[in-house]
């Protein structure tokens, strides 16, 4: 983060993100197993911290430049996958160098496909969305 503690602070980052999950279809009504999802992406992002007295408002946004999207992407012809995430929250110090945080995040991945008539799986696109609310204790230095 750039800036003094009492100023609005801006930060930038570049990271590698990895997220995977699958489905238990043993009790499912479908005979076609659902594909596992495994996202791998390069994530440029920006962060914002706005102090208001002792409380600070937090914000972040990142682009997910997907380099691999797992089994879903492999089932379709000419798959393109992109994503982004945004988050907001608040932080309140309770002792020097320590703060409690409440944060909410949205993460979305967006697929586009180029299916043709005789493909086994056909679709024009798909969206995978995740929401999260969490609490945290952070050391600030």
- pLDDT of 36: 78
Q: What is the pLDDT of residue 14?
A: 97
User: What's the whole-model pTM score?
Assistant: 0.79
pLDDT for residue 109 is more than 60? yes
Residues 9-47 pLDDT 10s: 999 999 999 988 877 766 656 666 777 788 999 999 999
Confidence band for 5, pLDDT divided at 50, 70 and 90: low
pLDDT single digits (tens) 60-70: 999 999 998 88
Residue 115 · residue 124 · CB < 8 Å: yes
pLDDT for 27 equals 61
What are the angstrom distances between the C-alpha of 57 and each of 4, 27, 50? Answer: 15, 44, 5
Q: What's the whole-number mean pLDDT along residues 53-80?
A: 89
Residue pLDDT, tens place only, 111-133? 888 877 777 777 778 888 999 99
Q: Is the alpha carbon torsion for 59, 55, 138, 10 positive or negative?
A: positive
């Amino acid at each position: 983060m750039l800036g003094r503690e009492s100023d609005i602070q801006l930060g930038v980052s570049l990271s590698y993100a990895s997220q995977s999950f699958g489905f238990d279809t043993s009790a499912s009504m479908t005979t076609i197993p659902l594909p596992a999802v495994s996202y791998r992406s390069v994530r440029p992002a920006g962060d914002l911290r706005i102090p208001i007295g002792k409380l600070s408002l937090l914000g972040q946004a990142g682009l997910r430049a997907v380099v691999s999207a797992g089994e879903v992407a492999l089932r379709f012809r000419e798959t393109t996958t992109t994503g982004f995430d945004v988050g907001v929250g608040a932080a309140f110090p309770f002792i020097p160098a320590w703060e409690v945080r409440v944060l909410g995040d949205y993460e979305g991945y967006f697929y586009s496909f180029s299916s043709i008539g005789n493909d086994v799986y056909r679709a024009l696109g798909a969206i995978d969305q995740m929401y999260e609310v969490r609490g945290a204790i952070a050391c600030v230095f």
